[in-house]
Amino acid sequence: MAEPLVLTLSCADRPGITARVTSFLFAGGGNILEAQQFNDRSSKAFFMRVEFDPGNWERDHLCDQFVGLANEFEMGWKLAQCDRPKRVLIMVSKFDHCLADLLYRWRIGELAMEPVAIISNHPRESIEHAHLGGIPFHQLPVTPETRPEQEAEVRKLADRYDAELVILARYMQILSDRQAEHFAGRCINIHHSFLPGFKGAKPYHQAYERGVKMIGASAHYVTADLDEGPIIHQAAEPVTHADSPDQLVRKGRNIESRVLAEAVRLHLEERVLLNGHRTVVFGN
């Protein structure tokens, strides 16, 4: 079997798209391994993800051939190699549980990524518990005054490392509108609450004060509108009156790590498509 490819696309819904796309792949000798589609009846939009063995087709040739069909349906589309690790830039602050979790999953081959660099606003020594190995580390401190320069530096590093995805692994800094736009659709944040509840800072303390009986975490694409970006994945777990804020923080770490890792995996495997300010997630 050749290296499998994954085609993702979206366009206005109309009869025949699936037939045309799958016939195109079949005609070229492709063999579907996994296919999912979503016909959004409210927005009349169509979304598709097809993982396939391209047979004798080269990826570039296939792309050239597909352009006609894509134009006819005015598709947004992408043809990616399934298993090629994406180049990932991870940003972190003092809490390193999400970072440690992502790196462990990367090391055992669970996440098809290549961590090209880690950026923190704190010094390397503050990452006490995660094992960075040889991954380049950059400290870029930030204050309200230096934010524009610091963010320019981040963009420069992202360019230099040719980063395809930026992960805010409890980075704890709000990105400027400009920065959020720059990385639109390729920057995932973990918010340590069950959005849309408890936006902003110290959500576990907010949750404690409110006396909720469940806490959660939300992974979403970053947009200029803080904590309002398209949600990729969420999870929640029960808590009780006996949980102090510290306990909530402890229980929350589990959820955050898990939710972020799952969102990153879904993104890396091209399973997340944008549908306005929402997402279509072709899970598995």
Span 82-111, contacts to its own copies by CB under 8 A: 97, 100, 104, 107-108, 110
User: Of 24-32, 65-73, 138-146, 162-170, which part binds its own copies (CB under 8 A)?
Assistant: 24-32
Among 119, 157, 166, 231, binds its own copies (CB under 8 A): 231
Residues 80, 71: Cα–Cα separation, whole Å: 18
User: Of 17-25, 139-147, 167-175, 180-188, which part binds its own copies (CB under 8 A)?
Assistant: 17-25
| Calculated CA dihedral for residues 45, 222, 190, 84, nearest 10 degrees | 70
Q: How far is CA 269 from CA 95, 195, 283, in A?
A: 26, 24, 10
Residues 127, 96: Cα–Cα separation, whole Å: 6
Q: Is 19 in the site for its own copies (CB under 8 A)?
A: yes
Active-site residue (options: 96, 101, 227, 243): 227
Q: Is 126 in the site for its own copies (CB under 8 A)?
A: no
Sorted by sequence, the CB contacts under 8 Å of residue 283 that are 6+ apart come out as 266, 271
Among 3, 12, 39, 124, binds its own copies (CB under 8 A): 39
Q: Is 134 in the site for its own copies (CB under 8 A)?
A: no
Distance of closest approach, residue 80 Cβ to its own copies, in angstroms: 19
Q: Is 76 in the site for its own copies (CB under 8 A)?
A: no
Q: Is 180 in the site for its own copies (CB under 8 A)?
A: no
Among 258, 260, 268, 270, binds its own copies (CB under 8 A): 258
Q: Is 227 a catalytic residue?
A: yes
How many residues comprise the chain? 284
Q: Which residues of 90-122 are buried (b: 16+ CB within 10 A; e: fewer)?
A: bbbbebbbbbbbbbebbeeeebbbebbbbbbbe
Residues carrying an active site annotation? 227
